[in-house]
Amino acid sequence: MQISAGDTAWVLTSAALVLLMTPGLAFFYGGMTRVKSVLNMMMMSVVTIGIVSILWVLFGYSLAFGNGTSSLIGTIDFSGLGSAVNKVVENGATYPIPLLSFVMFQLMFAVITPALISGAIADRTKFLAWAVFVALWVTVVYFPVAHWVFDFGGADSTGAGWLAKRGIEDFAGGTAVHVNAGAAGLALALVLGKRVGWPKSPMKPHSLPLVLLGAGLLWFGWFGFNAGSALGANGQAALAFTNTMVATAGAVMGWLIVDRLRDGHATSLGAASGAVAGLVAITPGCAFVAPWAAVVIGVMAGGICALAVSVKYRIGIDDSLDVVGVHLIGGLFGCLAIGFFGTSFTTGSGKDAFTWGAKGLFYGGGWHLLGIQALGAFSVLAYSFVVSGVLGWIIDKTMGMRIERDAEIEGIDLDQHLESAYDLTSTVGGVLGPRTARVLQSQEPS
């Protein structure tokens, strides 16, 4: 098959856009934490890029998309990626793009998914323990789940993931990325417990401009995340791009409306959080719903997630940066919404015509699609929650996953990285906590 230069360029560009989302997430999460925790929060995303990229080359891509017969896990055919050179993509169909372009595109999904989890356990997690968790989690949770959802097998569907075989519609990762990460974040928040002082002590974002910058980078990169999943510069990509834009705009408005009615003010944090909620909710269905439906899904997701993030105070679960309320709830809603709003589309004509998508309840398709979507979403939720909780518990009982109480009170940045994001000593008269002073003193030359 002749390689399409245009499709290849679009997929490679999309991969770069998706990579940008992880630094964007670092800014988004970093701005939402307190001053004493911002560097640790951002480093949790940065180290994820390093760990997952290496594991992806060694065996991750192969476990997720390796040729085989199992519907639960791939093979080791592509370990090291040497055998991927000079091949084209075959994933339920044959695409005129180099396999390595698809490998890199999928890598960026594998990178950002565990990075999303970090927001649930901000301010209190040992950096080394987090790195170990990421390595284990992507191996036993993300790689298999990616196979279940994203691997459509060869031309005859041999080796396709069990959810892909059943016809789940998850265009860009509502289940494999967002429900997966949200469930894991919930499990780890339960394992680590509440931050010192939560919820009585105020733990407000230290930099709303950073939060807005991060949300903007996420929105920008998400066009690659969603539209790039078409694996070509085509009508499907255009639909995904359009729906990504309008659903996110709708979610901003939905969240701000709840802000205004509930608290009396429309906040910048609400706008940024609403944008992310909309991006999450439209991800699974961005190529399966009409633009008008994308707007409805976005507005509803913004409102639902705005209400969901406050539930943690009622049930006493310290999900630091609302990973559960935005990614788990938003991902679940987006996956299930396809069962109602999903429809089919055709682009091109004659032999070049391409039709995709199944009809949901509102288009006369009955309850079948909704049942498949529910099966996929809740299966991934259960698997990720249980395995993530076990991994977190084992790490906590062996090497310890939570930092010491004094270190948490005085700041995780200095304790784990011996750095601070801002030179606060010159602005507050040089007053340091006793633990911080001891740490800095120990680093002075004798």
Same domain, 368 and 438: no
Whole-angstrom distance, CA of residue 203 vs CA of residue 87: 51
Same domain, 152 and 197: yes
Same domain, 326 and 412: no
Same domain, 239 and 341: yes
Same domain, 368 and 426: no
Same domain, 85 and 116: yes
Same domain, 336 and 413: no
Residues 316 and 284: beta-carbon distance below 8 Å: no
To which H or E segment does residue 356 belong?
A: strand 354-356
**How far is residue 168 from each of residues 165, 224, 315, 366, measured CA to CA in Å?**
8, 21, 32, 15
Same domain, 426 and 286: no
Domain at 92, CATH number: 1.10.3430.10
What secondary structure letter does DSSP report for 283? T
Whole-angstrom distance, CA of residue 125 vs CA of residue 114: 14
Same domain, 355 and 429: no
Same domain, 110 and 246: yes
Whole-angstrom distance, CA of residue 380 vs CA of residue 22: 22
* Rg, Å, the chain Cα set: 22
Q: Domain of residue 430: give its range.
A: 406-442
- Could you give the number of structural domains in the chain? 2
**Which pTM was predicted?**
0.93
CA atoms within 13 A on the CB side of 69: 0
The shares of helix, strand and coil residues in the chain, as percent rounded to the nearest 5, are 65, 5, 30
Same domain, 170 and 296: yes
Whole-angstrom distance, CA of residue 130 vs CA of residue 312: 23
Q: What residue type is assigned to position 403 of the chain?
A: I
Beta bridge partners of 354: 347
Tokens 């539930």, residue?
311
Q: What is the pLDDT along the chain (446 residues), one digit of tens a residue?
A: 799 999 999 999 999 999 999 999 999 999 999 999 999 999 999 999 999 999 999 999 999 999 888 999 999 989 999 988 989 999 988 999 999 999 999 999 999 999 999 999 999 999 999 999 999 999 999 999 999 999 998 766 778 999 999 999 999 999 999 999 999 999 999 999 999 999 998 899 999 999 999 999 999 999 999 999 999 999 999 999 999 999 999 999 999 999 999 999 999 999 999 999 999 999 999 999 999 999 999 999 999 999 999 999 999 999 999 999 999 999 999 999 999 999 998 877 677 778 888 999 999 999 999 999 999 999 999 999 999 999 999 999 999 999 999 999 999 999 999 999 998 665 444 445 555 555 544 544 44
Tokens 């998309």, residue?
65
Of 387, 301, 292, 385, the closest CA to residue 336 belongs to 301
Whole-angstrom distance, CA of residue 94 vs CA of residue 308: 41
